[in-house]
Amino acid sequence: MSNFIHFGCWNNLNEGCLETVMTRLNTRLDNLPLIDFLTVAGDNYYTLKESYKGKKKKIIIPEKLNLGFDYLPKDIDIYMILGNHDLETNTGKNNFFINNLENSVSENDCKVIEYENIAVGDNRKIDYKLSHEKMLQNGTLVLMIDTSMYESTAQLFLPCYKAFLHDESITIEKLQAQQLEFIKETVDKYDGEIKNLIIIGHHPIIGLKLKKSENKIVQDIVNFDNVLKEIYELLKDSVNYFYLCADVHLYQSGSISLKINEESNMKIQQYIVGTGGTSLDKCPIDTEIEDERLIYVMTECKEKCGFLECNTNSDIPKFIFYEADFGGGKKIRMKKKTKNKKRRNNKSIKRKYK
């Protein structure tokens, strides 16, 4: 087992390019080299948003949710995790509805999760869980984990974590502890075999996009740094680290140097692939971030729908982004080194972020 396809942020038939992505995906699955499985990094449904009396309302349309799941390939294993949109519900505000604005969802009633589980069903090849692990060729370990639990507002997701896990006793602290134990046990299970570690989550460790003509830094899971540091303490620099995610609706690759301590930095190659079928974000102007937490250098950005293919036939995994739309869009490709120092400095962000 060596090849898989990755994407997230996909099931949006209100707007976006889900049909185009799935058509392109099925074409790829029909060709060589063979793909062994898919990894889907959350946001498995997007509600229809409407404005009512000046307030944003979210309408769940079960028929569209089901249709989106029906577009997924049916003859290949799919490993799916949660995104923040899957965990949303009413939290004291009446802003969730079913089909229309006359049918409201009760407070803390996790209808998105409920309908997603119905759509997955018992006979599909979709494994929808909080975490997964797979050992591939050439010592490449894939760890799929939940990242919403590291958001600063994770308590808002707790009712839907309880519904998803069928556990009313769970807390965010317990979730984090259990997941860290899963990671440590899995790494220990493959002790001495791991050459490459591919971590898959919903949120980027860090990311960049353009919003309202201004650059926006995406760093919603700073608390996840503690988990990355635990992993580094276990494996040090003996492995190559990769991180695949979604959340931001574009394709973006870049290198991260996460500060572990005064002497050590964890080098991670990150791929943001929030391009599975929703509307797209804009690529940023700035391409570097440097602060006391990390250094991030964006190497490529595409405002394109599509998916990422990972091949582990060689010693170091190779990643290829397949575009699903063939016109328009903006592409930014940055060189690792720039001769024009002044231009590089203009593109850098060197300040502290909280």
CB 295 within 8 A of CB 257: yes
Phi, psi of 205 (to 5 degrees): -65, -40
Instruction: State which H helix or E strand residue 290 sits in.
Output: strand 288-290
Any idea of the CA torsion for 338, 217, 319, 302, to the nearest 10 degrees?
A: -80
CA 166 to chain centre: 24
Segment 65-102, tens digit of pLDDT: 999 999 999 999 999 999 999 999 988 777 999 999 99
Residue 192 has pLDDT above 90, yes or no: yes
Phi-psi region of 9 (alpha: psi -120 to 50; beta: other; left: phi over 0): left
Instruction: State which H helix or E strand residue 113 sits in.
Output: helix 111-120
Cα–Cα distance between 195 and 137 in angstroms, integer?
Answer: 10
Nearest to 26 by CA among 65, 78, 77, 71: 71
Q: What is the mean pLDDT of residues 25-38?
A: 96
Confidence of residue 253 (pLDDT cuts 50, 70, 90): very high
What are the structure tokens assigned to 328, written together?
């328009």
Residue 315 has pLDDT above 90, yes or no: yes
Confidence of residue 232 (pLDDT cuts 50, 70, 90): very high
CA 97 to chain centre: 26
Segment 161-179, tens digit of pLDDT: 999 999 999 999 999 999 9
Cα–Cα distance between 354 and 343 in angstroms, integer?
Answer: 26
81: DSSP letter: -
Nearest to 160 by CA among 144, 182, 175: 175
CATH of the domain at 165: 3.60.21.10
CB 35 within 8 A of CB 6: no
Sequence-distant (≥ 6) Cβ neighbours of residue 43 within 8 angstroms: 8, 9, 10, 11, 83, 84, 85, 86, 202, 246, 247, 274, 278
| Domain total of the chain | 1
Nearest to 288 by CA among 261, 320, 252, 319: 252
Residue 40 has pLDDT above 80, yes or no: yes
CB neighbourhood size of 165 (10 A): 14
CA angle 338, 341, 345 (to 5 degrees): 100
- Buried b / exposed e along 26-64 (16+ C-beta atoms within 10 A): eeeeeeeeebbbbbbbbbbbbbbeeeeeeeebbbbbeeb
35: DSSP letter: P
Q: What is the pTM of this model?
A: 0.92
Cα–Cα distance between 117 and 120 in angstroms, integer?
Answer: 5
CB 256 within 8 A of CB 224: no
What are the structure tokens assigned to 77, written together?
């294993």
Confidence of residue 52 (pLDDT cuts 50, 70, 90): confident
User: Range of 198's domain?
Assistant: 3-350
Confidence of residue 335 (pLDDT cuts 50, 70, 90): very low
What percent of the chain is predicted at pLDDT more than 70?
Answer: 92
